[in-house]
Amino acid sequence: MPLTRRNFLKVSGLIVGSAYFKKKSSTVLSARDFDDLRIEYGEETTSICPFCSVGCGLICHIQEGELINIEGDPDHPINEGTLCSKGSSLINLVKIYDQEGEGRPNPNRVTKVFYREPYGERWQVKDWDWALEKIAEKIKNTRDRTFEETDEEGTTVNRTTSIAHLGSAMVNNEENYIFHKLVRALGLVNIDHCARL
Ligand code: SF4
């Protein structure tokens, strides 16, 4: 058989395929093998890795409301499908695996609002509506108390320097744009982001 490109690919595919099935047939299947297959039936959604300012793109697979897999997004221009070791372990934020490959919810994941009042010694569990109201109240009170229309030379500044906004690597460009609009409208001038966006 002449060695054409097509024949080369056919033969290579057969060798790789037979090596894979040989390995599989001599290996005890674990729960992870079934997770690999399950992603075929999972709903896909995209997201951004929250760990650092590189902002790698992710594909998340969800089945019946449960996150079953996270992997690099090959269509994302930053990482083109790759993830570093931190990004590759993202699923462990919500799910951990034992040595047999059985997954269970990560018991260390924080899913509630914890609040410690000033000078308090204990954390109290609050709901999200309470937390949003509290944040809004604090922003409004601080802004009202510290807003400056002009500086000491009489120049119009319309600012408060008593509130700062720090962005997150989990936030994409469009979300950063909206955050900027919001905090600029409030008169904030201390605005930063770990990637300096
Ligand atoms: S996968 Fe790694 S490099 Fe990419 S954003 Fe996450 S932590 Fe940063």
> What's the domain range around 96?
28-105
In a domain, 191, yes or no: yes
pLDDT at 25: 45
d(CA 28, CA 58): 30
| Dist. CA 179–CA 197, nearest whole Å | 11
pLDDT at 44: 92
Strands 95-97 and 188-192: unpaired
Nearest CA to ligand 1 atom 2: 84
In this prediction, residue 72 carries a pLDDT of: 96
Distance (Å) from CA 119 to ligand 1 centroid: 37
> Ligand 1 centroid vs 79 CA: distance in angstroms?
9
Pair 94, 33 in one domain: yes
- Residue given tokens 């372990």 in the structure block: 89
Q: Quote the pTM value.
A: 0.60
Token pair, residue 172, equals 């994409």
Number of domains the chain contains: 3
Pocket test for ligand 1, best of 47, 53, 54 (most atoms within 8 A of CB): 54
Q: Is 178 helix (H, G, I), strand (E, B) or coil?
A: helix
Complete edge-to-edge strand list for the sheet that includes strand 188-192? 148-150, 156-166, 188-192
Residues of the chain with pLDDT under 50: 21-27, 31
Task: Specify whether 85 is located in the same domain as 127.
Answer: no
Per-residue model confidence (pLDDT) at position 181: 95
Q: What number of residues does the chain have?
A: 197
- Partnered with residue 48 across adjacent β-strands are 57
Q: Which residues line ligand 1 (CB under 6 A)?
A: 49, 51-52, 54-56, 79, 83-84, 86-87
Please answer whether residues 43 and 61 qualify as being in contact, where contact means their C-beta atoms are separated by less than 8 angstroms. yes
- Check whether residue 39 and residue 87 sit in a common domain: yes
